[in-house]
Amino acid sequence: MTQGILVINAGSSSIKFSVYAVTDGSSLELHSKGLIEGIGGKPYALAKGADGSPIGERNWREDEPNDFQSCFAELVRWLLPHLKGMDLVGVGHRVVHGGPELNRPVLLDPKTIEALEALIPLAPLHQPSNLLAAKKSLELTPDIPNVACFDTAFHRTQPRVADAFGLPSAYYDNGVRRYGFHGMSYEYIAARLPELAPELADGKVVVAHLGNGASMCAMRDGKSVASTMGFTVLDGLPMGTRCGAVDPGVLLYLMDKEGRDSKAISDLLYKQSGLLGMSGVSNDMRELKQSNEPKAADAVDYYVYRIGRELGSLTAALGGLDGLVCTAGIGENDADLRERVCKDAAWLGVELDKDANRNGAVRISTPKSAVSVWAIPTNEELMIANHTFNVIRG
């Protein structure tokens, strides 16, 4: 029987899953993937094979329980028959926060989950659903090892100056630090560099993860030395609906002058800001590009501008720059945006090869560009599957 690894990425109202088959005893190959959305409302699940063809679809009836735990249980029950001939040997969970110490994936048991629950105040929007899924999974699959992979773990190599805030040091000691996120994506890119761009593997590289969530990471020798995301997933670049860097004084203003409480401010910063808030049109880059609304163009201008500023800042943290890698939905697909970013980075010695950029090449800078530029698709799920398999194998 083929061994399989199930990867779970649980959000507050949706759960994405992927199944990887173990081939040749050690390589992982995508078998199927899918999602369940509308949790808490009218859930709907869809599974697709590795080639994208639908292999299963399910609509919840009105009288069926639609809470997170029931939906997860039903997902597992519904998914298993689709994995005929596969022996599930591990479940890997994306968990947003591993705290200040955890720098690698861990095997989950009730005690570990309890320790991770203590980190909920650090990531109140993501950690609870990540752990609910992990708990339910342990209950439903007690004989299968469950592994947590953290978005923060990759950044634990950062020096203290990079992960500290200018607050009294007791706050640092109590965990108020810059954690950095999107670690699975950065780790995946770092793992691809030796093969795709060997000259960068031990160089000074900035990776721009530009998806719905967006951040940038400075890496030296494939290790994180600084990142734009901080204590939470709000800092740094503007995102689909998140604000990115904001002067903390703005928050005091919102409280004192507008009388907003933390819930209202949280909604504003996480859900009503970024590309959506600035444009008033959409959180989706493709829709902004097609819009004639001037504010849509303003939002994209701001996005490009902030990438340029963060690139300068991360280059300073690295003491130079050998390569820039663009990844995730926008970074991988939006040639026009990459062109604008590279134009603004000409002062660093970036010279874009416009044809390569338009034609889907991996290396998109000219041979004489002082800084090489790359568009590399990320694969966070595969990274989680790999980690899970490695933890299981000890």
**Positions marked catalytic:** 151
H or E element: which one contains 254?
helix 248-256
Q: Which is nearer to ligand ADP, 286 or 309 (CB)?
A: 286
What beta strand segments (E) does 11-96 contain? 15-23, 27-37, 44-49, 54-59, 86-95
Closest contact distance (angstroms) between CB of 229 and ligand ADP is 13
Which of these, 83, 99, 86, 93, lies nearest to 130 by C-alpha position?
A: 93
Q: What is the DSSP string of 282-335?
A: -S-HHHHHH---HHHHHHHHHHHHHHHHHHHHHHHHHTS-SEEEEEHHHHHH-H
End-to-end CA separation in angstroms for the chain:
21
239, 274 Cβ separation under 8 angstroms: yes
Please provide residue 76's backbone torsions phi and psi, each rounded to the nearest 5 degrees: -65, -45
Please give the residue whose beta carbon sits closest to ligand ADP in the complex.
329
The residues binding ligand ADP (CB under 6 A) are: 211-213, 240, 284-286, 328-330, 333-334
383, 149 Cβ separation under 8 angstroms: yes
Owner of token pair 């799920």: 381
Q: Which is nearer to ligand ADP, 217 or 328 (CB)?
A: 328
Which of these, 96, 84, 118, lies nearest to 10 by C-alpha position?
A: 96
Q: Which residues are registered as beta bridge partners of 3?
A: 87
Closest contact distance (angstroms) between CB of 20 and ligand ADP is 18
Q: Which is nearer to ligand ADP, 99 or 213 (CB)?
A: 213
∠ at Cα 95 (230, 74), nearest 5°? 145
Closest contact distance (angstroms) between CB of 334 and ligand ADP is 4
Closest contact distance (angstroms) between CB of 331 and ligand ADP is 8
Burial label for 12, CB within 10 Å (0-12, 13-18, 19+), is middle
Q: Which is nearer to ligand ADP, 89 or 281 (CB)?
A: 281
Q: Which is nearer to ligand ADP, 44 or 78 (CB)?
A: 44
CA distance 335 to 326: 10
SS (H, E, C) 328-369: HHHHHHCHHHHHHHHHHCHHHCECECHHHHHCCCCECECCCC
Q: Which is nearer to ligand ADP, 137 or 215 (CB)?
A: 215
Q: Which is nearer to ligand ADP, 74 or 154 (CB)?
A: 154
Q: Which is nearer to ligand ADP, 286 or 393 (CB)?
A: 286
CA distance 190 to 200: 9
204, 321 Cβ separation under 8 angstroms: yes
33, 379 Cβ separation under 8 angstroms: no
Q: Which residues are registered as beta bridge partners of 207?
A: 217, 325
Closest contact distance (angstroms) between CB of 107 and ligand ADP is 26
Closest contact distance (angstroms) between CB of 328 and ligand ADP is 4
